[in-house]
Structure 1
Amino acid sequence: MKAVTGESSELKSSKLKPGVNRGLSIFDFILRLAAIVGALGSAIAMGTTTQTLPFATQFIQFRAEYNDLPMFTFFVVACAIVSGYLVLSLPLSIFHILRSRARATRVVLVFLDAGMMALLTSGASAAAAIVYLAHKGNGKTNWLAICQQFNSFCERTSGSLIGSFVAIVLLMIMIFLSGAALSRRR
């Protein structure tokens, strides 16, 4: 009698695993879509950031653009690469919904997600350092805070960073979800 009870509990747990993994895969797909919005929105917001200060003469103008600073250019490129990767990873995410027992492709996604998270984190960190200097300046090195003059420029770059950090957190959650789905199988 105990052997039958033990077998039936094993059958129940094996039937639950694909359903839970399918749910994790659906959640992973939704997170990928949200991360695409965050990363692509950040790239677009930063890539279109520019501001010109009006002065009395039209011959002397001060202009701030994202590509004036290499860190912002790196940030835009990193966000674009991560966005492209996330779009290309959507078919694999759909494959995991259909075949919740797929193991090898999920391992590949974990490694690629981790690499993309590292790339996006490095780009966002470099841009965050410059945005901090733009807001606060650095008196010891005579770097003046420019956000009093270039207010719109600073607001857009700060907003762009928020979107990228949201995408980083979503990538982190996706890695944990894939790890959880992998650990549920034997």
Structure 2
Amino acid sequence: MKGGALEMGSEVAKKGSAPVNKVAAVVDFFLRIVAIIATLGSAIAMGTTNETLSFFTQFIRFRAKFNDLPMFTFFVVANSIVSAYLVLSLALSIFHIMRTRAHASRILLIFFDTGMLALLTAGASAAAAIVYLAHKGNTRANWFAICQQFNSFCERISGSLIGSFGGIIIFVVLILLSAVTLSRR
């Protein structure tokens, strides 16, 4: 008798968690779309950043372009890879909406989401270090702050960092959401 009651209780718990898992899957889908917008926007903003200043005459020009610094190039590549991954992961997210009890694919998503989180964090951190130097400079190394001269350039690279760090926060939430959904099993 007790064995049957336990089985019925676990069956009711599984049915009760299905709507919660479906809501979590829908939230996961929308967070992935927001993360695509954030990372792709960051990659585009950084990848199209350049500014040219004329000094004294038209023949003397100084140029600041994102691909002059390898860290910014890495930032663009990392955000592009993460954006492409997020587009591909939408298929699994839709699958989780239809099949709330899919567990192997959730584990796979947690694994790849964690890898993409690491890549995105590395790209954003490398770019953030250079953005800091562009704004503040380093007198010990004789690196001068260039943001007083290249205002537009600095505003765009700083803005692209905001989107990328927003993507990092979304990935942390996605990983936690998937882990909580798996633990409700």
**How would you bin the TM-score normalised by the shorter chain?**
over 0.9
Quote the Cα distance in structure 2 between the aligned partners of 1:71 and 1:3.
61
1:164 to 2:164 alignment: yes
Quote the Cα distance in structure 2 between the aligned partners of 1:8 and 1:101.
18
Superposed CA deviations along residues 86-141 of structure 1, whole A, max 9, x for unmatched, are 00000000000000100111111000000000000000000000000000000110
Deviation at 1:5, TM superposition (A): 7.2
1:121 to 2:118 alignment: no
Letter in 2 for 1:184: R
- The match for 2:140 is 140
Q: TM-score, with normalisation over the residues of structure 2?
A: 0.95
- The match for 1:30 is 30
Letter in 2 for 1:88: L
Deviating more after overlay: 162-171 vs 12-21: 12-21
Stretches of structure 2 lacking an aligned partner (at least 5 in a row): none
Stretches of structure 1 lacking an aligned partner (at least 5 in a row): none
Quote the Cα distance in structure 1 between the aligned partners of 2:108 and 2:6.
35
Structure 1 outlier segments of 4+, above 2 Å = 1-12
Letter in 1 for 2:97: I
Superposed CA deviations along residues 148-174 of structure 1, whole A, max 9, x for unmatched, are 000110000000000000000001100
SS, match of residue 141 in structure 1? coil
Superposed CA deviations along residues 32-90 of structure 1, whole A, max 9, x for unmatched, are 00000000000000000000112332211001000000000000000000000000000
State the Cα RMSD in Å: 1.6
Quote the Cα distance in structure 2 between the aligned partners of 1:112 and 1:11.
31
Letter in 2 for 1:54: S
Deviation at 1:15, TM superposition (A): 1.1
Q: Percent of aligned positions with the same letter in both sequences?
A: 64
- The match for 2:95 is 95
Quote the Cα distance in structure 1 between the aligned partners of 2:37 and 2:184.
30
Aligned length: 185
